[in-house]
Amino acid sequence: MPVPDDEAASARLAALVRRHGWNATSFQLREPGFRFFWPDDDACVGYFDTGGAWVAAGAPLAAPERLAEVAAAFVAAAARAGRRACFFAVEARFAEQCRLRALPIGDQAVWDPQAWAAILASSRRLREQLRRARAKGVRIRAATLSDGAAPSRETLRALEDITHRWLSTREMAPMEFLVRVEPLVVLPEHRVYVAERGGQVVAFLQLTPIFARGGWLFQNLVRGRDAPNGTAELLIDTALRAAASEGCRFVTMGLAPLSGDVPGPLRMARRLGRALFDFAGLRAFRARLRPADWTQQYVCFPPRQGAARSLLDVLSAFASGSLARFAWRSLLRGPLVLIRLMAVLLIPWTAALAAADAAWFPRPWIKTFWIVFDVVVLAGLLRLGQRWSERLARALNWAIAADALATAVEVLAWNVHPGLRPHEAVVAAAALFAPAFAAFVLHRARRRHALGRDGTSAGSSAAPP
């Protein structure tokens, strides 16, 4: 059931988070979008209902000796509601106690802030990054955003603008669950460091408390496109130094998904998915900061449920319940992976065009023209898929749009007739649809990259900066 929207319920949840919040994700349960299972007043499980499953955000908020009991009650309650159940982003402490299968899904980098000064002293590369940012005029300040004062509201608007622009430039549609960035939620317990250059906000780092470990999750690291090199490192350096001065011994940036020792199918997913998400880049960035340890994280689920089914449930939670709808929204953004796919599909299409009967075209030279045209477009798409160029993208966009118009005229005037056979109708439909769709995809991709030039690039606890 969702927690009622009243002060007593919020205080009840906040008290549990303070008392039992051991997982890095524990404080995020106070942010919007979660439902809650309450076996009693001293335990709860925050989860997302996908419609087919209850996907828990981390381990239960409960005393350590009660984790297995509360987890079993949650699984049973989900079954009574006709739902599957699983626990996402849990650590070994939970996995070893519960009668559930545990599937490794990635690693969590952990730092001891007390060791940060020594790490800097031994890393010339990190010191150089900090020097670059300072030399470019980047200054870091701790921001107070929950007091409602005018300067706080102005800063919050700047952070929200950076976040919104970044989301507009991503290859994938915005995700939900534990990586939700917009709307940016800032509670009194959050700590926010803002990077400014010339009086303008260029980046920020949002810290979330992990009360039961006396530590912090570096939840959102968002860097504007005009932030100089080293800005992210300077934010992290400032936050780690502050944590060290307070005696803190535990800081994490959260899960680096599909990193480390994960099963073979997940390693394959890591390779196949790198066009949409730079899993290796995320881990490499954190590794450069020399964490003290990498702790494995898991998805835990009932033995009879199956690993593949549980992973699909987790993905559905990130997709806000519908993988198909999420995939369609992502396709409409014109991701580069789709541009690469269009280039691949154009190869057999051009080959089929070359082998086609000349009678399919009004004049023989028209067939030759389309073959040459497609080869040129293919070369352009392959180049664009490797490295974005607005000039090339604009030229291809106009050329493919003209192709769509000319092809439509040709197909309707020459190829569509009463005696059209089924396979010919399929070819004609493809000729009509494909160029128009390609022009639309390129238009959307150009729009995203235009926002990127004028706006930002960014990362969060689940994305590289």
DSSP character at residue 414 = I
The confidence score (pLDDT) of residue 464 equals 39
Structure confidence at residue 165 (pLDDT): 76
Residues 6+ apart with CB under 8 A from 399: 373, 377
**DSSP assignments along 429-441, one per residue:** HHHHHHHHHHHHH
Q: Where are the domains of the chain?
A: 108-260+273-295, 336-453
Of residues 84, 80, 89, the one with CA closest to residue 57? 89
Pairing of strands 53-57, 43-49: antiparallel
Residue 148's pLDDT is what?
A: 65
Half-sphere CA count of 428, side-chain side, radius 13 A = 18
Listed as ranges, residues in the chain with pLDDT below 50 are 1-4, 454-465
User: What would the two tokens of residue 150 be?
Assistant: 């005018």
Burial 255-294 (b: 16+ CB within 10 A, else e): bbbbbbebeeebeebbeebeeebbbeebbebbeebbbbeb
Q: What is the DSSP letter of 199?
A: T
Burial string for 122-146 (b: 16+ CB within 10 Å, else e) reads: eeeebeebbebbeebebebeebebe
pTM, to two decimals: 0.83
According to CATH, the topology of domain 108-260+273-295 is Aminopeptidase (3.40.630)
pLDDT for the residue 3: 45
